[in-house]
Structure 1
Amino acid sequence: MSRRGWILFLAMSVVWGIPYLLIKVAVRDIGPAELVFVRTAVGALLLLPIALYRKELRASLRPWLPLLAYTVVEIGVPWLLLSHAEQEVDSSLTGLVIAGVPLVAALIARERLSGTRVAGLLTGLAGVGLLVGFHGGTGGAIPILELLGVVLCYATGPLIIERWLADVPRYGVSAASLVAGALLFAPVAVPNLPSLARTVTPGPALAALALAVICTALAFVLFFALIAEVGGVRATVITFVNPAVAVVLGALVLGEEITPLTVGAFALILAGSFLATRRRPAGKETTPDPEPAPV
């Protein structure tokens, strides 16, 4: 990769590795629905001018039904589940469980699986199972099930893009989906904002703002620049780096524990994800690798 490509890659690895930390801090004072609304509304305000300037918004609205489905599956449901789950579980555990997204994506893509990919799936799922089984009692079963639901959503969203929105401009899809997400959560969140403004402390407020500005709006801009610089396939490698960033930040900032079992489970997930998403030799690949989901 070029020097610019490496800079963008490292920036994206951090930008999509810190949301779990920020969510953990934000939900101390901000409810899950309100947090998702702030993130989508502020993100939309920042991305809409770019989409309008590039004249991409109108094209993204034509396939409105797939766009709505993408919004629900990739933004609305997973961001709500993430925020709710992190009220009970560590941010580092969240990041590690989300590392299983490529495994589930490979399972539901309906591709013919080679022996290498099957081995990768089994290895990665063993890592997820080990991680979930060990930590399942720390926050109860519901947060773990919510995180697994996030994994399923994040694995499904790119398939919607691939099948129905592949030719739609990326900035248009991102801006329109954030607007739709804000509208979906507005009826629940907006009535609570006045009281929230009086009670929220600076830490959670800044975390929510950073989540919207850095991990949503800026993240999309950087990610699209990364794809343009190195290609979509190489850009997916950040999926394997983000969880490590989440674990390190959780330990350094929040004092979350890193155990040998956690490291071992992460190694299994990484190895399994690499093998399960490994591309076939040229001419044999039938389906492009999905892009990483926004976190």
Structure 2
Amino acid sequence: MSTTSAAFSTDKIRKPWLAGLLTGLLFLCVCLSWGTTWLGIKIAVETVPPLTAAGLRFLIAFPLFITFALVRRDPIFFPRGTQGFFVFVTLMYFSVPYYLLNYGETHVSSGLTALLFSCMPVFILAFSALLLKERIYLSQIIGIVIGFGSLYMILRVQGVRVDRAEFWGVLAILAAAVMHALCYVITKKKGAQISVITYNALPIGIAGLLLFGLGLAMEEPQFSVISERSWWALIYLGICASVGGFIAYFVLLKRLSPVVLSFVFIIFPVFAVIIGSWYEGQFISPELALYSALLLLGFAITKVPVEQWLAARR
């Protein structure tokens, strides 16, 4: 075999390996960026009020999203006739949920926030059945029972009580997960033709202005007392967690099946719990680890129904 032929053969062997490595690294990047988001929020709201923090995060991310849209020549504005949907996305996906997440993290640990938000696929399943008339399998119902039963035990282990502020933080985070789930389902029904970049760019800017303006009026933030650590957290949330994680996720959409990629929502809470516990000096008890694993297992079952998997095997 000639040297040229050998080199060509070697390249053909390496290319799939390199492509797989790149895909794995991108997947890890998304899990890390979204897994550290919760700790970033926790640090940001240490010295920045929730409304103001959410607004600043989006205002930092907005120019980068616009630049990304211009480079790819994607439209910035939603298609004509979808103005109502645009308002819905701006309010129900970006504005209200991210304020609720920031508010929740003033009372709840970053790891628990990530676990609570990992319930979102279950809410997507429920809304899909109600609004899109999609079938729910028995195994998915079992997964929901396992997941929420484990979540109840996690809240007991963490000591969250009805008469404590943490309870309202938990409700705020779950409400944010419900809103995001509803947006995903409505988007599947009404916004499938809108590019992912268009979907994010202008709504994130308007949401940022709205949240920041409300924060100035209602919270009267004292910028002189904002710590350097909180500023760095906001910059990280705006650039890395929002834009960087989004770009990596966007690339993975073309490399992986939606089912495989959706497991990001099962994996990133693991990173969040570990990183958050390390930063906040919290001990991960065996009970918390067990119930967290059961929670994520239950929600994983809802994403890949056993009945469908067996049918595909046959």
- Same fold at TM > 0.5: yes
- What is residue 20 of structure 2 aligned with on the other side? 2
Letter in 2 for 1:106: L
- What is residue 251 of structure 2 aligned with on the other side? 225
Letter in 2 for 1:122: V
Matched, 1:130 2:163: no
CA contact (8 A) 1:100 1:273 kept: yes
Shift of 1:226: 1.1
CA contact (8 A) 2:48 2:221 kept: no
- What is residue 57 of structure 2 aligned with on the other side? 39
- What is residue 14 of structure 1 aligned with on the other side? 32
User: Which secondary structure state, in structure 2, belongs to the residue aligned with residue 89 of structure 1?
Assistant: coil
For residues 157 and 39 of structure 1, the distance between their equivalents in structure 2, rounded to whole angstroms, comes to 20
Aligned residue among 108, 112, 129 for 1:93: 112
Q: 1:59 to 1:207 in 2, by over 3 A?
A: closer
For residues 113 and 221 of structure 2, the distance between their equivalents in structure 1, rounded to whole angstroms, comes to 29
Alignment coverage as a number of residue pairs = 284
- What is residue 289 of structure 1 aligned with on the other side? none
CA contact (8 A) 1:132 1:144 kept: no
Structure 1: stretches of 5+ with no match in the other structure: 286-295
Shift of 1:195: 5.8
Shift of 1:19: 0.9
Shift of 1:192: 8.4
Shift of 1:61: 4.8
Shift of 1:103: 1.6
Letter in 2 for 1:160: I
Matched, 1:117 2:140: yes
Shift of 1:16: 0.4
For residues 212 and 115 of structure 2, the distance between their equivalents in structure 1, rounded to whole angstroms, comes to 30
CA contact (8 A) 2:31 2:267 kept: yes
Shift of 1:216: 0.7
Shift of 1:229: 1.8
For residues 206 and 18 of structure 1, the distance between their equivalents in structure 2, rounded to whole angstroms, comes to 13
- Could you say which structure has the larger radius of gyration? 2
For residues 234 and 289 of structure 2, the distance between their equivalents in structure 1, rounded to whole angstroms, comes to 29
For residues 220 and 151 of structure 2, the distance between their equivalents in structure 1, rounded to whole angstroms, comes to 40
Q: 1:141 to 1:58 in 2, by over 3 A?
A: closer
For residues 178 and 220 of structure 2, the distance between their equivalents in structure 1, rounded to whole angstroms, comes to 34
For residues 194 and 209 of structure 1, the distance between their equivalents in structure 2, rounded to whole angstroms, comes to 21
Letter in 2 for 1:172: T
CA contact (8 A) 1:9 1:226 kept: yes
Higher mean C-alpha displacement, 70-79 vs 33-42: 70-79
Matched, 1:65 2:84: yes
For residues 134 and 77 of structure 1, the distance between their equivalents in structure 2, rounded to whole angstroms, comes to 29
- What is residue 292 of structure 1 aligned with on the other side? none
Aligned residue among 267, 283, 287 for 1:257: 283
For residues 198 and 299 of structure 2, the distance between their equivalents in structure 1, rounded to whole angstroms, comes to 30
Letter in 1 for 2:152: G
Q: What are the within-5 Å matches in structure 2 for residues 64-213 of structure 1?
A: 64-110=83-129, 111-135=134-158, 136-137=160-161, 139-190=165-216, 196-213=222-239
CA deviation string 1:206-263 (max 9, x = no partner): 1111111111111111110111122322211111111000011012222123122211
CA contact (8 A) 1:67 1:165 kept: no
CA contact (8 A) 1:251 1:258 kept: yes
Q: 1:161 to 1:194 in 2, by over 3 A?
A: same
CA contact (8 A) 1:70 1:157 kept: yes
User: Which secondary structure state, in structure 2, belongs to the residue aligned with residue 16 of structure 1?
Assistant: helix
For residues 163 and 130 of structure 1, the distance between their equivalents in structure 2, rounded to whole angstroms, comes to 35
For residues 240 and 256 of structure 1, the distance between their equivalents in structure 2, rounded to whole angstroms, comes to 22
For residues 5 and 28 of structure 1, the distance between their equivalents in structure 2, rounded to whole angstroms, comes to 35
Identity level (%): 20
- What is residue 48 of structure 1 aligned with on the other side? 66
For residues 173 and 220 of structure 2, the distance between their equivalents in structure 1, rounded to whole angstroms, comes to 30
Shift of 1:196: 3.4
Aligned residue among 251, 273, 278 for 1:247: 273
Q: 1:195 to 1:184 in 2, by over 3 A?
A: closer
